[in-house]
Amino acid sequence: MKVAFIGGGNMAAAIIGGMLTKGYSAADLAVVEVSPEARVKLVAQFGVSALEAPGAEMARMDAIVIAVKPQQMRAAAVALGPHLGKALVITIAAGIRLADLSRWLGGYSRCVRAMPNTPALVHAGVTGLYADASVPAGDRLLAERLLGAVGRTLWFDRETDLDAVVAVSGSGPAYVFYAIEAVETAARELGISPDKARALALATFDGATKLAIARGEDPATLRANVTSRGGTTERAIAVLDAAGVKAKFVEAIKAAAQRSREMGDEFGKD
Ligand SMILES: NC(=O)c1ccc[n+]([C@@H]2O[C@H](COP(=O)([O-])OP(=O)(O)OC[C@H]3O[C@@H](n4cnc5c(N)ncnc54)[C@H](OP(=O)(O)O)[C@@H]3O)[C@@H](O)[C@H]2O)c1
């Protein structure tokens, strides 16, 4: 499978790294990247070929992943359109809708919208995928295999669900880091040294997540299991509940989804 990436930044590098670990050959991977320094780095780090702009080689690709910022998508797609052959085009940009991408590509509709997240860097990502009904099963499998190199993949039935995926798992690692920061701060304020505060916070998030996955139980049940009446956990949860922390998390994630929809309107309008 020959794959090209348009944009060789953080997410492209994470996916390329994952693909190479999974046994894909660097000789089959190419990156179109505008920055000369980034091109040199990509060649040195991964041994892939790096190009300044899309050209005739794009016609030989089986898949092309557009991995530029949402505000750069239009220009990247317009430049790619004339060189497309048989490739499945996968966009990983937040907010950008398939109808807009297809228009920018000159009416090309073999496209999949994907939303990965940064744990892809350590092969622990999760990617939401959407394609409309005209995209054949073989193309869906191709997208799944490609993004599956860096973690789990989940298909969604409605394109609007991808705005929720951006908000939940795309931006999600930041919410987890935010919570880790809070736990670490508390540990330090309780007199624990910074290195041990970090170790405790990280091991707790890692362990609790692994436990939740292993047990497959509802998180509310798992929480109830460690909350004894009159105990320390109950006191802590009462403080969080009184401050409406859970409701604020929900509100924050809905705000992120709204921003994804706005980005679709803002960057997709022409
Ligand atoms: N980071 C995340 O957590 C995350 C998660 C899921 C999805 N995404 C999506 O992934 C996309 C990429 O994010 P990123 O963090 O990897 O961004 P990034 O590090 O800025 O990478 C994009 C790269 O593409 C280059 N570029 C811009 N226009 C180009 C063009 N027309 N042709 C070729 N190269 C071009 C950029 O160069 P310049 O820097 O010179 O502009 C930059 O090096 C975004 O749309 C984002 O929504 C990101």
Q: For ligand 1, pick from 37, 45, 69 the residue to mutate: most ligand atoms within 8 Å of CB.
A: 69
**CA–CA gap between residue 211 and residue 135 (Å, rounded):** 38
Smallest CA-to-CA distance from 173 within 221, 225, 121, 214 is with 121
Q: What is the largest CA-CA distance in the chain?
A: 70
User: What pLDDT shows up at residue 121?
Assistant: 87
**CA–CA gap between residue 144 and residue 114 (Å, rounded):** 10
Distance 197 CA to ligand 1 centre (A): 34
Rounded to the nearest 5°, which phi and psi values hold at 208? -65, -40
Query: What are the Cα distances from residue 101, in Å, to 59, 78, 251, 268?
Result: 18, 9, 30, 8
**CA–CA gap between residue 243 and residue 195 (Å, rounded):** 29
In this structure, the number of other CB atoms found within 10 A of the CB of residue 215 comes to 12
**CA–CA gap between residue 115 and residue 95 (Å, rounded):** 9
Are 112 and 7 contacting, i.e. CB atoms less than 8 angstroms apart? no
Smallest CA-to-CA distance from 30 within 83, 107, 70 is with 83
Are 164 and 257 contacting, i.e. CB atoms less than 8 angstroms apart? yes
User: What pLDDT shows up at residue 30?
Assistant: 98
**CA–CA gap between residue 125 and residue 232 (Å, rounded):** 33
User: What pLDDT shows up at residue 236?
Assistant: 97
Distance 73 CA to ligand 1 centre (A): 9
User: What pLDDT shows up at residue 15?
Assistant: 94
Q: For ligand 1, pick from 5, 11, 112 the residue to mutate: most ligand atoms within 8 Å of CB.
A: 11
- Percent of the chain at pLDDT exceeding 90: 98
Query: What are the Cα distances from residue 178, in Å, to 181, 183, 208, 249?
Result: 5, 9, 16, 11
β-bridge pairing 3-6 and 63-66: parallel
pTM for the whole structure: 0.93
**CA–CA gap between residue 251 and residue 241 (Å, rounded):** 15
Distance 93 CA to ligand 1 centre (A): 8
Residue owning the nearest CA to atom 20 of ligand 1 = 9
pLDDT-flagged residues of the chain (< 70): none
User: What pLDDT shows up at residue 269?
Assistant: 81
| Closest ligand 1 atom to 6 CA | 33
Residue owning the nearest CA to atom 15 of ligand 1 = 10
Instruction: Enumerate residues lining ligand 1, CB below 6 A.
Output: 6-12, 32-35, 38, 67-70, 72, 75-76, 79, 92-94, 115-118, 170
The tens digit of pLDDT for each residue in 83-141 reads: 999 899 999 999 999 999 999 999 999 999 999 999 998 999 999 999 999 999 999 99
Query: What are the Cα distances from residue 259, in Å, to 100, 142, 164, 253, 262?
Result: 17, 29, 10, 10, 5
| Closest ligand 1 atom to 11 CA | 16
Distance 154 CA to ligand 1 centre (A): 22
Buried residues in 149-166 as b, exposed as e (16+ CB within 10 A): bbbebeebeeeebbbbbb
User: What pLDDT shows up at residue 145?
Assistant: 95
Beta-carbon contacts of 58 under 8 Å, excluding residues fewer than 6 positions away, are: 4, 64, 80, 83, 84, 85, 87
Smallest CA-to-CA distance from 86 within 115, 57, 114, 66 is with 57
User: What pLDDT shows up at residue 99?
Assistant: 96
Distance 12 CA to ligand 1 centre (A): 8
Distance 195 CA to ligand 1 centre (A): 33
Distance 191 CA to ligand 1 centre (A): 41
